[in-house]
Amino acid sequence: MTATKDEFRGAVAALPGGVAVVTTTWRRTVWAMTVSSASSASLEPPLLLFCVHSDARLRDALDEVDTWTVSVLGAGQGPVADWLASPGRPAVDQLARVPHHAASVASGVRLDGAAAWFECRTLALHGAGDHDVVVGEVLVAERGAADAGGLVHLDGRLRDVR
């Protein structure tokens, strides 16, 4: 016996998830996607993971680009999360309205005002139902401002945490 899709969706809504944006540069375009599935996977060696829908544009990029950047969103960055989760948003210049700066060693960019940044190299990709789990070796980890707070997804809503 397996839970139905609706049962699972209803119950998992009670699981708060930190909100982050994953970016990479592919074919001279910066690709970005909001995720609520980023998580530390290992301290030694430092590994970070996130889940991406198997037919997402960013997933296609990960077949050709081996580095990516994660910006952990801070309190007040809900509009950024919403924009980068909007279906049908343009691929070109999707970050034109989002303040950002270059990553130091990985592909992609760092979003300004984030609570933390991770620059990673793909270590493994694992199929998991309709998503893929992307595991990355952390090349750079940096904390943002101490008062940045955080942004979580809970019960279908984005909520600031301070």
Task: Give the span between the Cα atoms of 141 and 121, in whole angstroms.
Answer: 12
The domain locations on the chain are 19-161
Most distant CA atoms of the chain, gap in Å: 48
Model pLDDT, residue 91 = 84
Question: Which letter does DSSP use for residue 103 in this model?
Answer: -
Mean pLDDT confidence for 139-160: 97
Mean pLDDT confidence for 131-159: 97
% of the chain at pLDDT higher than 70 = 100
Task: Give the span between the Cα atoms of 122 and 117, in whole angstroms.
Answer: 16
Task: Give the span between the Cα atoms of 70 and 118, in whole angstroms.
Answer: 5
% of the chain at pLDDT higher than 90 = 94
Q: Is 39 in contact with 50 (CB distance < 8 Å)?
A: yes
Mean pLDDT confidence for 154-159: 96
> In which band, very low, low, confident or very high, does the pLDDT at 149 lie, cut at 50, 70 and 90?
very high
> CA separation (Å) from 90 to 60, 68, 87, 119, 127?
16, 20, 9, 24, 27
Model pLDDT, residue 73 = 98
Mean pLDDT confidence for 128-149: 97
pLDDT tens digits, one per residue of 29-61? 999 999 999 999 999 999 999 999 998 889 999
The label of the residue with tokens 């984030």 reads 114
> In which band, very low, low, confident or very high, does the pLDDT at 101 lie, cut at 50, 70 and 90?
very high
53-57, 93-97, 103-107, 127-131: lowest mean pLDDT where? Answer: 53-57
Question: What's the CATH class of domain 19-161?
Answer: mainly beta
Q: Is 32 in contact with 95 (CB distance < 8 Å)?
A: yes
Chain-wide mean pLDDT for the chain? 96
Structure tokens at 53: 């829908």
Model pLDDT, residue 64 = 96
pTM of the model: 0.95
